[in-house]
């Protein structure tokens, strides 16, 4: 690995054969954690290219547990809705709320996620707090997706090879150094969905992740970054300010801006959207899905669900997507979908 580390330190990109060698080294439990950390440090300081990230993702997916999903019997277009994390805003779980709305509106949601790292409650944490099992056998998750149009892939169960990188990541975390593994989580869905709504914490990453998702073969995807009124941003579509979007449409990329006010969303404040621990956020989600909360938290969940409906082709405009999301909530279908997943064990 020393030759690859030196090459990275000199600013040279990794070729596909280099990525294959490096990926095999990183997941080898017998190799040195210090050397793995040195490689990841050199790669991050050089700056990962979209091609390098896509090559790592493709290789790591060959090592993942295959859920064995058959596309033909799925009840709708398959989509993952996920964020990178890292915005440090500690919002309630917006994408987890949106996934129930999307599934109730005809999207087949194959959500991939983990426990909170940069937030108080990750998707896995809040699903547990809602009474939903995150550790179901692989075949049972696949059956649920085919039957309910909804399922959750708990990342550690589907990527056992990554245990070999834990110590190296701890070394880098102690230095305050991010690594490749801080970027690729939202790209490692073992079901390889056709569609994706991906939020990024850094606006400079919208185009980068768009290029990666195009390379990975998504039929359509949006990479979004939302702004906050007093500066900063979120890894969701925001109702607080303008949104930057990179749209993946087949082999093409298109940049766009979205102002939620133009869709008729009322102005919100950041404090309206801040969550808490998993138990607190579960109560917030139940309130939205159950129709008791019709304020700013519902609005941001609706906006993100509307985008998912547009990405998958179930709505032609965000206005249509909003209408579908709100009707789905109002008739109780999104709450019923959450209960169905809770009961699926």
Mean pLDDT, range 164-170, rounded to an integer: 95
| Helix (H) / strand (E) containing 335 | helix 333-343
Residue 62 near residue 192, CB atoms below 8 Å:
no
Helix axis angle for 94-104 and 296-311, nearest 10°, is 60
| Position 314 confidence tier, pLDDT thresholds 50, 70, 90 | very high
Kindly provide the b/e burial profile for residues 161-178, where b requires at least 16 CB atoms within 10 angstroms of the residue's own CB: bbebbeebbebbeeeeee
pLDDT score of 297 more than 70: yes
Between CA 150 and CA 106 the distance in angstroms is 10
What tokens does 111 get?
Answer: 């959500």
pLDDT score of 118 more than 70: no
Question: What is the average pLDDT score of the chain?
Answer: 95
Q: What integer pLDDT is reported at residue 119 of this predicted model?
A: 67
Q: Poorest-confidence range of 36-40, 117-121, 205-209?
A: 117-121
Tell if the pTM clears 0.85, that is, is over it. Answer: yes
Q: What are the structural domains, with CATH classification, of the chain?
A: 78-158+191-343 (3.40.1030.10)
| Position 85 confidence tier, pLDDT thresholds 50, 70, 90 | confident
Q: What integer pLDDT is reported at residue 86 of this predicted model?
A: 80
Continuous H helices in 78-177:
94-104, 123-129, 138-148, 155-158, 166-175
């Amino acid at each position: 690995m020393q030759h690859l580390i030196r090459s990275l330190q000199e600013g040279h990109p990794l070729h596909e054969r280099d990525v294959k060698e490096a990926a095999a080294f990183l997941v080898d439990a017998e190799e040195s954690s210090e050397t793995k950390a040195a490689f990841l440090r050199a790669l991050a300081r050089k700056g990962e290219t979209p091609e390098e990230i896509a090559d790592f993702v493709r290789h790591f997916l060959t090592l993942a547990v295959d859920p064995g999903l058959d596309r033909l019997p799925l009840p709708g277009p398959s989509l993952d809705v996920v964020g990178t994390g890292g915005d440090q805003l500690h919002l309630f779980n917006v994408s987890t709320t949106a996934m129930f709305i999307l599934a109730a509106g005809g999207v087949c949601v194959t959500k991939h996620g983990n426990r909170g790292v940069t937030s108080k409650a990750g998707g896995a944490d809040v699903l547990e707090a809602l009474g939903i099992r995150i550790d179901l056998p692989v075949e049972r998750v696949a059956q649920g997706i085919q039957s309910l149009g909804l399922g959750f892939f708990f990342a550690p169960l589907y990527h056992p090879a990554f245990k070999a990188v834990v110590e190296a990541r701890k070394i880098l975390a102690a230095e305050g150094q991010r690594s490749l593994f801080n970027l690729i989580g939202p790209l490692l869905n073992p079901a390889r969905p056709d569609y994706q709504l991906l939020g990024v914490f850094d606006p400079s990453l919208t185009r980068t992740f768009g290029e990666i998702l195009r390379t990975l073969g998504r039929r359509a995807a949006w990479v979004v970054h939302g702004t906050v009124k007093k500066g900063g941003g979120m890894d969701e579509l925001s109702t607080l300010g303008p949104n930057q979007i990179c749209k993946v449409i087949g082999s093409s990329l298109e940049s766009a801006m979205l102002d939620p006010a133009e869709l008729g969303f009322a102005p919100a404040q950041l404090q309206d959207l801040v969550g808490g621990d998993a138990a607190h956020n579960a109560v917030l989600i139940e309130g939205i899905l159950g129709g008791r909360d019709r304020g700013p938290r519902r609005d941001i969940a609706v906006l993100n669900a509307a985008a998912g409906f547009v990405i998958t082709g179930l709505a032609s405009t965000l206005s249509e997507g909003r209408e579908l999301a709100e009707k789905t909530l109002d008739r109780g279908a999104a709450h019923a979908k959450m209960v169905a997943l809770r009961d699926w064990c």
